[in-house]
Structure 1
């Protein structure tokens, strides 16, 4: 029966995409997961895989057309022949050799030694993620491994994670070394088969690291020759723009993760230097592009455990590169304003000191200050939904739920896991969620959907002793709360009769960073005044 090809959603805030190129024409055979067409959205350029094997019978949406997500853009019919459904060997492409390859977690177990080989593939860690970087192999060739035992670590745009083994057996081959970025469904290793015969990992020429979303074989030769060097990372749309303008992409500094050249980079270069050969020979747009993650296996999340030597040039890890790009994007996008409030935390300090031992015994989690601040924020966001909103094109999206991000500092970077529907949780529920997400973030056990879809973020650099900071907003949110350190200070206290006295109080600074495009200073002030009131007059049952 016919299979409809639809415009996919490439992120929760993306609702349309432009078809920039069809890679097949009506009548062509296509394999399942083979690149079918290229799209461009306001956040990503990508090649979209075929949802089925068969023959492309109809193209409903021509190139250059922008359509809504879930629009039917083409139709694939079953060919009825053996060749249409059988896998086509593609040894030089980064995809798994069998289109029916299942994700890592559901691959059947293989016999331990001498049995059928089981491919280990790069899993898809979220619907909008098309590649990942192997940062570390936790097993070596010849090592025994149990099914679901952690086999290797990966880093993607959204999460760092340990990937479990798809089968029990012996790791007989490592096809992709640590430090290499590959497409999802790429075979990165083998378990079983001729176990123990390979003494060292096979080191492939990492063709999948050339481009962000396409196997090397799908890049048209004239495009590759015109503008892309062996290690250049760019999207199909970027390469097309470069080709149309006779631009050598080697002259463009990439600001994306791992040095990826984005659409913004190439358009900015053309605006500044013009097309063709009119620009000076080697003038970068900004700072030199960081090396790709695949360039050095050492550029992994584990790098901080081996400090760099003075004078050494160390490439950015994938996470560091992503953080850098997102911070720049946020500063370019949001009209950042900050307001700082001093909060008398004495009442909460006393409650915590009195209850912390019994609280941990009752609830199995330590009583920290973060749940107090989180609950005050949640209560205030419910009263002032504009601070929980975000810009969406030329409109404001008022979010139905409060998805509270809690920034967690890691040895190798920073990550923001999210408490979904935080408004439905009690004090104890919020406390448990914070502790659980932080622990799993440090253990690389987070799932992709636990680090996205946030609507408001809290970051706590005060644990390092700072008075206050001016945090950068976490896109696409519109506000972030920075928590300063807790200090004893002399303060003027006024009693009920109006008499003033000086006392030692526990004080903390809270900073609200907000996007002035949608949040006015008055709204920000009212929000913080309400948070201050909630904390200084705490009356909520902590459970």
Structure 2
């Protein structure tokens, strides 16, 4: 009997997941425990392992289509084993959708294995179409009633829309259709100026990558952040010469006695936490028409993954020493990179740190992780000649970029907070006492 492959629940807050990538095609052999797909939610992306040996009999949910946890997305069984149309339809449907879908089937519908697709209903709202496919069709100005669905029970999939777009691009328009096409392109161009300005044939010959999974979430959140907040960035440099010397001395001892490798990021995290306790206005969030100022510090640390950026949260970071912060930062980063981080660990931060120093970046403009009021960008340490009194010395300087929400606080208090971080880093013994 075929084994169901279901959409996993990646966290308590997960309401919908999608297959970012199928590593197998229908008919491909699979081994239990083998990675067959990448699953993405609103917060994270992880690998999905095959629950049994056999072959991938059917892919019921295509890439990019969002479905609730527990939805059957595919079947694994023995070669030649059949999956009934009822089961296949249930796999691609969301909970509560099957009864309506079955009722919509005509009485003389083709039996299992039949080739006749279900006829599309007349009204757009009644047509079964995946959310991704609907958005693609709307962006391209296509009438979904004229698209033939090849999914379960005539459901229109992303591939069906892509095929319709390709046909529309290659089919010459009649004189009457040309005007409609012009209006449609003008409409599309108004929402996507880049496409409107592109030369003829530009879009057709470009690789088109669906925006799904983590990338889709990041795109939506970054755009929303810039549109819903008043962001301003301040920069300065901290002299971390003494901090680097302290970190070097402490690192060997911490490694031997506590099995923790202390990094500059650990000290920066501690400096930020101490500064947030003194400047609580920065440790706040703009929600509705109110500014919420927090007593606790839930510190977000941005982690770059191959498929996007995630921000795991160290809860009650103000209660931890440099060693404790170091343990939490490394543990969360490892869980994020191995795909073991639950969505609950990515929520509730009150301030975020993002570090691009490893890439040789100096100053940059971090985008707020809204509704937080601030995010600190950390650049690369550079050795620079600096006058200390009349003496020219070689000092190690660390670029810091603070983006804050001007609706929450003004430039002066934001500058005071950034200066507090600088002072803490330049007097590093305060961070360990």
Q: 1:436-451 counterparts in 2 under 5 A?
A: 436-451=331-346
Give the CA deviation at 1:408: 1.2
Contact 2:65 2:130 in 1 (8 A): no
Q: Is 1:472 aligned with 2:340? A: no
Secondary structure, counterpart of 1:445 in structure 2: coil
Secondary structure, counterpart of 2:47 in structure 1: strand
Give the one of 420, 423, 428 matched to 1:538: 428
Give the CA deviation at 1:365: 3.1
Q: Distance in 2 between matches of 1:533 and 1:377?
A: 11
Q: Distance in 2 between matches of 1:436 and 1:387?
A: 26
Of residues 485-494 and 168-177 in structure 1, the stretch that sits farther from structure 2 once superposed is 168-177
Give the CA deviation at 1:527: 0.5
Q: Distance in 1 between matches of 2:245 and 2:81?
A: 63
Give the one of 161, 166, 179 matched to 2:46: 161
Aligned residue pairs: how many?
A: 362
Secondary structure, counterpart of 1:188 in structure 2: strand
What residue is the counterpart of 1:225 in the other structure?
Answer: 123
The 1:178/1:289 distance shift into structure 2, 3 A limit, reads farther
Give the CA deviation at 1:351: 1.3
Secondary structure, counterpart of 2:429 in structure 1: coil
Give me the CA root mean square deviation: 4.0
The 1:436/1:183 distance shift into structure 2, 3 A limit, reads same
Give the CA deviation at 1:174: 4.3
Q: Distance in 1 between matches of 2:317 and 2:122?
A: 48
Contact 1:131 1:181 in 2 (8 A): no
The 1:430/1:138 distance shift into structure 2, 3 A limit, reads farther
Higher RCO structure (Cα 8 Å, ≥6 apart): 2
Q: 1:379-528 counterparts in 2 under 5 A?
A: 379-494=274-389, 500-528=390-418
Per-residue deviation, residues 389-419 of structure 1 (Å, max 9, x unmatched): 1111111112343111111112222111111
Give the CA deviation at 1:288: 7.6
Give the CA deviation at 1:364: 2.4
Per-residue deviation, residues 427-481 of structure 1 (Å, max 9, x unmatched): 1111111111212212212111111111111011122112110111012211100
Secondary structure, counterpart of 1:433 in structure 2: helix
Contact 2:354 2:376 in 1 (8 A): yes
Per-residue deviation, residues 226-272 of structure 1 (Å, max 9, x unmatched): 46877563899x9xxxxxxxxx88649xxxxx9xxxxxxxxxxxxxx
Secondary structure, counterpart of 2:323 in structure 1: helix
Q: Distance in 1 between matches of 2:184 and 2:206?
A: 28
Per-residue deviation, residues 81-134 of structure 1 (Å, max 9, x unmatched): xxxxxxxxxxxxxxxxxxxxxxxxxxxxxxxxxxx6553311233444332122
Give the CA deviation at 1:144: 3.5
Per-residue deviation, residues 189-240 of structure 1 (Å, max 9, x unmatched): 345xx5454599x9x789959x9x984876999998146877563899x9xx
Q: Distance in 2 between matches of 1:333 and 1:223?
A: 39
TM-score normalised by L of structure 2: 0.72
What residue is the counterpart of 2:235 in the other structure?
Answer: 340
The 1:173/1:429 distance shift into structure 2, 3 A limit, reads farther
Secondary structure, counterpart of 1:539 in structure 2: helix
Give the CA deviation at 1:384: 1.6
What residue is the counterpart of 1:113 in the other structure?
Answer: none
Q: Distance in 2 between matches of 1:128 and 1:208?
A: 22
The 1:390/1:177 distance shift into structure 2, 3 A limit, reads same
TM-score normalised by L of structure 1: 0.58
The 1:501/1:126 distance shift into structure 2, 3 A limit, reads same
Contact 1:465 1:484 in 2 (8 A): yes
Q: Distance in 2 between matches of 1:411 and 1:129?
A: 22
Contact 2:385 2:393 in 1 (8 A): yes
Contact 2:2 2:81 in 1 (8 A): no
Of residues 515-524 and 224-233 in structure 1, the stretch that sits farther from structure 2 once superposed is 224-233
Give the CA deviation at 1:151: 5.7
What residue is the counterpart of 1:143 in the other structure?
Answer: 30
Give the CA deviation at 1:528: 0.9
Q: 1:202-351 counterparts in 2 under 5 A?
A: 215=97, 225-226=123-124, 233=131, 251=141, 280-282=183-185, 283-284=187-188, 285-287=190-192, 311-351=206-246
Q: Distance in 2 between matches of 1:400 and 1:420?
A: 12
Q: Distance in 2 between matches of 1:313 and 1:235?
A: 14
Contact 1:405 1:455 in 2 (8 A): yes
The 1:179/1:362 distance shift into structure 2, 3 A limit, reads farther
Contact 2:71 2:91 in 1 (8 A): no
Q: Distance in 2 between matches of 1:469 and 1:145?
A: 45
The 1:159/1:519 distance shift into structure 2, 3 A limit, reads same
What residue is the counterpart of 2:60 in the other structure?
Answer: 176
What residue is the counterpart of 2:150 in the other structure?
Answer: none
Q: Distance in 1 between matches of 2:314 and 2:223?
A: 25
